[in-house]
Amino acid sequence: MAQIFGDFRENLPTDHEFLILGFSPSSIPIQQRWRNNGLSADFVADYLATFFSASETDSQAQARQAEIKSAVSYIANELLENAMKFNDETVRYSIRFGMHLINDAEHTIVLVATNSISLETFTRFKAYVQEFLASDPDELYMRQLELTAESIEAGSAGLGLLTMRTDYEAKLGWKFDAVENEPTAIAVTTMVQLPV
Amino acid sequence: MAATLDQPMNVNMEVIQGENYQASYDAENATVRLTGSLRLSSPTEYQPIVDLLNAVAAAEPPTIVLDLRQLEFLNSSGISMLSKFAIAMRKRETSNIVVRGSSSIPWQGKSLKNLQRLMPNLTLELN
């Protein structure tokens, strides 16, 4: 039974532009794959930007296009980094990344990443998601950075997700679901909605 | 992808050259310049740049300039690194910090203001 948290759209409209990329995490070690994240994120951003083309004389439209491209590149890169970093490599389950351009009541860019995680990671991450959603965005952002500054070893866990919300005004949601034939893993889908 | 120190410490210009980025320190102007696209995978990979920043901080110049005007991309691990530096400098109270950014690079307009929230005395110049 799937568990949903935050702003998560289960059924995206059937008629819209989308692009799905798949990565088999077992085929290449993560360090070699890392540069792929940047390439994929930039590719998705460049591709999407063509739907917001701006004439050379319209500087306002050009600035908007550059802003959308930069936002998509940053968010896609963070989603891919997280998916690669936390993926459970003992499970045969491809990492999937999707970009959707939804034109209904308002234009929304939807970026989605799905990967498998271990049960241990699931417990930790679910607690983080609940804290994330229950906290004031700016307060949590500052609190987490002050905490990270205290320890030399602590990484930037969650900072990517926090910046999407505070700096890009994106809406975030998660779905946790079972992985078929893999009782020790959970499939996590992170969805980021960016109004444009 | 590992960064290398091209020159030994305590010379006037120190450069860390990565695959898609460069970090340099110009001691004469107390300026740390980051250029290119920085998306390293872990705090460990950022350590050479952290060491550079710490060395600059230890020299205690009156003002340290962070020149980011040609930094096209920075991932959240990199934002974390700059944030930690801002917090550390707030606590040290030894140097003023000036961050120079570019308003034509969209991420800078969105994310650099957070450095000022972490270190209220920091000067942010977006041109």
pLDDT 10s digits, B41-96: 888 899 999 999 999 999 999 999 999 999 999 999 999 999 999 999 999 999 99
Q: What pLDDT sits at residue A28?
A: 76
d(CA B5, CA B114): 29
Residue B96 main-chain phi, psi, to 5 deg: -80, 150
Is the Cβ of A67 closer than 8 Å to some Cβ of chain B? yes
**How many other C-beta atoms lie within 10 A of the C-beta of residue A90?**
12
CATH number at residue B108: 3.30.750
Number of compact structural domains in chain B: 1
| A135: alpha, beta or left? (left if phi > 0; alpha if psi -120 to 50) | beta
Q: What pLDDT sits at residue A157?
A: 64
Residues of chain B in contact with residue A66, where contact means CB-CB under 8 angstroms, are 104, 106
B127 located within any domain? no
Check A145 against B83: CB less than 8 A apart.
yes
Q: Which sequence spans correspond to the domains of chain A?
A: 3-195
State the SS3 of A40-86. HHHHHHHHHHHHHCCCCCCHHHHHHHHHHHHHHHHHHHHHHHHHHHH
Confidence of residue A152 (pLDDT cuts 50, 70, 90): low
Q: What is the pTM of this model?
A: 0.92
Check A35 against B19: CB less than 8 A apart.
yes
d(CA B102, CA B72): 9
Is the Cβ of A153 closer than 8 Å to some Cβ of chain B? yes
Residues of chain B in contact with residue A148, where contact means CB-CB under 8 angstroms, are 80, 83-84
B31 located within any domain? yes
Q: What pLDDT sits at residue B20?
A: 93
Domain that holds residue B91: 4-70+78-119
The answer to whether A33 touches A23, Cβ cutoff 8 Å, is yes
B17 located within any domain? yes
pLDDT in tens, A77-133: 999 999 999 999 889 899 999 999 998 878 899 999 999 999 999 999 999 999 999
What are the b/e assignments for A107-131, b being 16+ CB within 10 Å? ebbbbbbbbbbbeebbeebbeebee
Confidence of residue A161 (pLDDT cuts 50, 70, 90): very high
Q: What pLDDT sits at residue A33?
A: 80
B124 located within any domain? no
**pLDDT higher than threshold 90 for residue B112:** yes
pLDDT averaged over chain B? Answer: 91
